[in-house]
Amino acid sequence: MSMSRQISNVNFVNSMISDKFEIYHVKDVVDNAHTLYHYHDFYEIHATLSGNANFYLDGKQFEIEAGSVLLIQKNDLHRIVSQSSKVFDRIYIFITPEFLRKFSTPETDLENCFKGLDTSSSKVLKVNPEKLKEYLAFVDEKETRTYGADIEYQQKLIEYIIFLNRLVLSSNFESEPINNKKNKYIDAILEYINENLDKSLSLDEMEKQFFVSKYYISREFKKYTGLTFHQYVQKKKLLYAKKLLVQYQNSTDVYQKCGFKSYAHFLKVFKKEFQLTPKQYLEKEEKKQKVYYQND
């Protein structure tokens, strides 16, 4: 059984041991120097119980507060940018697509809250804080060996996911990104990168596009993202490549669509980033897609 973990003084959790789900209840002070952009090969549900923070999610920043729930897609870059309250109490749930498919039915697709009706983008929902605490009360329940306790725990998690799916279907609970960014140039560049991953994207191009020195961009980019401009662009392109590989099923059709000038370079950096060749990644994804419903 994947039970919850109480964590204090932790920067962020970025891996999974379970092949089903893991739950973390975190109360700490955010250290901006260590909350670097990261991504997962699984879904993440981030719920804020109390406190306020700015959160970067797939090219946009959001103000999150008690009742904010982030539904984070696989491979979307994200990070806590800053904390604006003394207390920041939140619960992370890492969950695999396979687990959601196992408990889905032809009528009830539990992945829908991540896929949405027309989009596969991450989402930020606004939930009544007290209702959110009610749904997540099971996380801090004392672990017991009572017969059926593991199934009951899992059922409460599924009930929470059903609740989130209903919110997404209602389409009335999404939060809007904020506009008061700390650096308007860097934010504009991040958005530009996100929308032009098929281009080469160099510092020289950014200088011409935004009429600001490339040396300034380089310095400020590292300061506000924790990555160099080149590191960030390459990471975004490679994550984009993973999505396109599933769509086109052929790496030779993908590398140019991600703005890589050479297939050999694309293969090299893809393997370094993911420890898999594009072919191995596709084989891995194909195996994952074989089970959809528990009653098939």
How many structural domains are present in the chain? 2
Per-residue pLDDT at 13: 41
Same domain for 209 and 151 = no
The pLDDT of residue 294 is: 30
Cβ burial of 71 (10 Å; 0-12, 13-18, 19+) is buried
Question: Rounded distance, CA 253 to CA 257, Å?
Answer: 7
Query: For the residues of 214-234, what is the DSSP string, one character each?
Result: HHHHHHHHHHHHSS-HHHHHH
Residues 154 and 246 in one domain: no
Contact indicator for 182, 224 with CB cutoff of 8 Å:
yes
Q: Please indicate, yes or no, if residue 178 is contained in any of the structural domains.
A: no
Listed residues 137, 170, 203: the one ending a domain: 170
Residue 242 inside a domain? The answer is: yes
Identity of residue 141: E
CATH number of the domain encompassing residue 85: 2.60.120.280
Task: Tell me which residue range forms the domain holding 162.
Answer: 4-170
Nearby residues of 34 by Cβ (< 8 Å), 6 or more positions away:
11, 12
Structural domain contains residue 129: yes
**Does any domain span residue 295?**
no
Q: What is the pLDDT of residues 153-173, one digit of tens each?
A: 999 999 999 999 998 888 666
State whether 139 and 219 are in the same domain. Answer: no
The answer for residues whose C-beta is within 8 angstroms of residue 100's C-beta and 6 or more apart is 43, 110, 111, 161
| Residues 25, 95 within the same domain | yes
Digit-coded pLDDT (tens) for 183-233? 788 888 988 998 899 998 999 999 999 999 999 999 988 877 778 999 889
Tell whether 213 and 258 lie within a shared domain.
yes
CATH of the domain at 244: 1.10.10.60
> How would you class 35 by CB atoms within 10 Å of its CB: exposed for 0-12, middle for 13-18, buried for 19 or more?
buried
HSE-CB of 205 using CA atoms within 13 angstroms: 11
Domain-embedded: residue 179: no
- Tell me how crowded residue 101 is: count the other CB atoms within 10 A of its CB: 19
- Domain presence at residue 152: yes
Order of strands across the sheet with 53-57? 60-64, 53-57, 78-83
Q: What is the DSSP letter of 204?
A: H
- Domain check: are 190 and 240 in the same one? yes
Q: For the chain, which ranges sit under pLDDT 70? A: 1-18, 30-35, 116-120, 171-182, 288-296
11 in the same domain as 135: yes
> Do 145 and 25 share a domain, yes or no?
yes
212 occurs within a structural domain: yes
Choosing from 141, 170, 199, the residue where a domain stops is 170
Q: 37 near 225, Cβ under 8 Å?
A: yes
- 188 and 163 belong to one structural domain: no
**Whether 148 and 191 share a structural domain:** no
Shared domain check, 159 and 89: yes
Residue 12 lies in a domain: yes
What pLDDT is recorded for position 3? 46
Q: For residues 19 and 117, state if they share a domain.
A: yes
